[in-house]
Amino acid sequence: MFVVHYFSPMGVHYTTCSICEASCGVVVEVVDGKVTDIRGDPDDPLSEGHICPKATALSDLQSDPDRLRQPMKRTESGFEPCSWDEALEAVASEIYRIQSEYGRDAVGIYLGNPNVHNLGSLLFGPPLIRSLRSRNTYSATSVDQLPQMMAAAQMFGHQLLMPVPDVDRTDLFVIIGGNPLVSNGSLMTAPGIGRRMKAIQARGGRVVVIDPRRTETANKADEHVFIRPGTDSALLMSMIGVILDEDRVDLGVHSEIIDGLETIRTAVAAFAPETVADFTGVDAARIRALALELCDTPRAAVYGRLGACTQEFGALTAWLINVANIITGHLDIEGGVMFTQPAFDAMYPPGRPTGRGKRGRWKSRVRQLPEFSSELPVSVLAEEILTPGEGQIRGMLVLAGNPVLSTPNGKQLDRAFDSLEFCVAVDFFINETSRHASYILPAAPPLSRAHCDVVFQILQVRNTAKYSPAVLPLEPNVRHDWQILHELKTRLEDKRGGVGLRARLQRRAVAALGPRGLVDAGLRLGRRGLRKGWAGLSVRKLEKSPHGVDLGALEPCLKERMPPGHDRVSLAPELFLEDVDRLLERLQVPPPNLVLIGRRQLRSNNSWLHNSPRLMKGKDRCTLMIHPMDAERNGIVDGAPTRICSRTGSVVAPAKVSDEVMAGVVSLPHGFGHGRQGVQLSVAGSKPGVSINDLTDDLLVDGLSGNAALSGVPVTVAAL
């Protein structure tokens, strides 16, 4: 049953870019074992040739001299190479020691974003994490989409049932806090979104962007509405109120299973457009018109993304976006918001189903923030390391993450990591976080890995399936993430003892199958597998279609996709209703003079592509964007170094004076700040920039979900 791949030193390979969610099909040409060309694959049914500049970084990453190619251990005189056996044994022993000495919660885990783009990590990470049984599990989820997962769990019964806008058939696409032209789409796997937006316009439809910055997406939209950061929930409350007042509710095809409409009526009563206009910065007439346009457009979709989530009312916003779609009849219909029918179903992978999104089974020790789906909000990580007492974190396992740059109050987290007894990072760079590690275990770069987007098949705007074998062989002293994770789990279990024969055999079988075998099992057992007889999908079948297989446009399927025993949609879950008072109170509070928001850039991917020479060419991108009025008021001129201060710290960046941001808002990109001592990224270090997360505040969270409020941080600015 095993297929052996012989890596040819020459040739053309069809594969998938795994850097971001768009999952573009790429063609990679290899000569003498070296990548000579990377271009878009026009035959990929989802991306149809689209790529972005980051795809070329795949080969920079491959050849990067700073990329680790053997395990490293920290010594008095810096990092030194060591053997895999030494590293794995030391790591397993230290984790075992700390958990035996202080209890299982004393080892914390942080999972970074690349885990969801890595087939092996997705399949082999969860068993290791379960076996650690630590309540101190954290991930990038709580600086990202946690509110949307919470809304999905509470309303549709499963955290992964996040509705996807059917952009290819919609006539009104309302984007709240997303910049897909730069991010290439998120929780909406839609490579080539620019082309898809143009198609909406070509069929007479409209794209509306609601954002405190006139973004690249806003520039291509039909309408851009500035909104004060953190106020989207009030805007949505108001829109929903208009729809109810005007008697325009249409619950659509699922009206018989939707509960809670009357409760919504009471909740929105206090949010008339005139009441929220000053608070949101959006004109009352505009609020009314947008609400009615949603009712008047049979194919319309409201879509919210990062800016809607990483704010103090992120959960309310995520919930209300769903409500707006549902009460205007746009749930689960063509051109509205829909659900996918993935060939490999990450909701029900082989083995055990993914958690539905339970919440509040335990709370963080210091600040009492609730767990969601077995994870605590990462905003509490530093205090859980720094605050002495029972349950304090003494050791950290960081898997493909860089929380020092990507989570709030990075300086504090730096201090926290510095104080740990032990830390291990599975990563291929010595960066801002891994420099604190006692051991760094180097994982394989993307082109050496087989890829199948088992997570993003859940979020695609079209059902497709694809399996891409690795393009390049594994370097001699590098291992796959899944191998590292599996080996750590095995060693830890053996140290604990008591592993029965059956468990040992199972362990061995799973390792023998590897990611390929497990995906194969999932495909065969899935809805498009054995049940379809000869036509059923398997990895072998997908390998014969290297561009991917088109499985058609999204189809109404909500009832089928809701988990067993869950057959109703809740418009008004209590959890959200209880949070409305907090928003009402906020309406009464005068806003800060100046707040900070982020800014994604096409040639970055969070913090980890800044060592690619091709992506770092050109001018310094880590600039503070500021409105001309705010610049003048603070004596700041374009290009001048400017100090930005918040409760947690201060940084200096060159000003970029522009009315692209609304007055009262300044913007810095995230992922920079490579000037920290000990970072070994030579290209990134030449334009280190500063970290926005040295300004964001670990105490500023969405009170309901615990998600970090990275947007809307009060700051002051001054010319240097």
Q: Choose the contact partner of 51 out of Mo ion, ligand SF4, ligand MGD, none; CB within 5 to 8 A by kind.
A: ligand SF4
The tokens describing 683, both together, are 């290209």
Nearer to ligand MGD, 451 or 541 (CB): 451
Question: What single letter denotes the amino acid at residue 485?
Answer: L
Binding piece for Mo ion, criterion CB under 5 A, among 5-13, 140-148, 270-278, 489-497:
140-148
Q: Does 144 bind Mo ion (CB under 5 A)?
A: yes
CB 389 → ligand SF4: shortest distance, Å? Answer: 43
Q: How far apart are CA 128 and CA 542, in angstroms?
A: 29
Q: Choose the contact partner of 134 out of ligand SF4, ligand MGD, Mo ion, none; CB within 5 to 8 A by kind.
A: none
- Pair 193, 392: CB distance under 8 Å: no
Residues 34-53 that bind ligand SF4 (CB under 6 A): 51-52
Q: What is the DSSP string of 442-481?
A: PBPPGGGS-B--TTGGGTBSEEEE--B--SSPPPTT-B-H
Binding piece for Mo ion, criterion CB under 5 A, among 143-151, 430-438, 594-602, 641-649:
143-151
DSSP state letter for 589 = S
- Contact partners, residue 2, CB within 8 Å, separation at least 6: none
Q: Does 174 bind ligand SF4 (CB under 6 A)?
A: no
Q: How far apart are CA 545 and CA 549, in angstroms?
A: 7
Please name which of 186, 114, 103, 139 lies closest in space to residue 373, comparing C-alpha atoms. Answer: 139
Q: Does 21 bind Mo ion (CB under 5 A)?
A: no
Nearer to ligand SF4, 18 or 297 (CB): 18
Candidate list 205, 342, 357, 403; residue touching ligand MGD; CB under 6 A: 403
CB 664 → ligand MGD: shortest distance, Å? Answer: 12
- Pair 158, 152: CB distance under 8 Å: yes
Residues 676-695 that bind ligand SF4 (CB under 6 A): none
Question: What single letter denotes the amino acid at residue 227?
Answer: I
- Pair 288, 154: CB distance under 8 Å: no
Question: Binders of Mo ion: how many residues, by CB under 5 A?
Answer: 1
Q: Choose the contact partner of 24 out of ligand MGD, ligand SF4, Mo ion, none; CB within 5 to 8 A by kind.
A: ligand SF4
Residues 649-688 that bind ligand MGD (CB under 6 A): 670-671
Binding piece for ligand SF4, criterion CB under 6 A, among 15-23, 194-202, 385-393, 533-541:
15-23
Q: Choose the contact partner of 710 out of ligand SF4, ligand MGD, Mo ion, none; CB within 5 to 8 A by kind.
A: ligand MGD
Residue nearest to Mo ion (CB): 144
Candidate list 23, 189, 464, 604; residue touching ligand MGD; CB under 6 A: 604
Nearer to Mo ion, 146 or 209 (CB): 146
Chain position carrying tokens 């060159």: 654
Q: What is the DSSP string of 382-437?
A: HHHHHS-STT---EEEEES--HHHHSS-HHHHHHHHHT-SEEEEE-SS--TTGGG-
Backbone angles phi, psi at 356, to 5 degrees: -80, -15
Backbone angles phi, psi at 599, to 5 degrees: -160, 105
What residues make contact with ligand MGD under the rule CB under 6 A? 20, 112-114, 118, 140, 143-144, 176-180, 182-184, 186, 210-213, 215, 227, 229-230, 232, 305-308, 311, 400-403, 406, 426-429, 431, 443, 481, 597-598, 600-602, 604-608, 670-671, 692-693, 696, 710-712
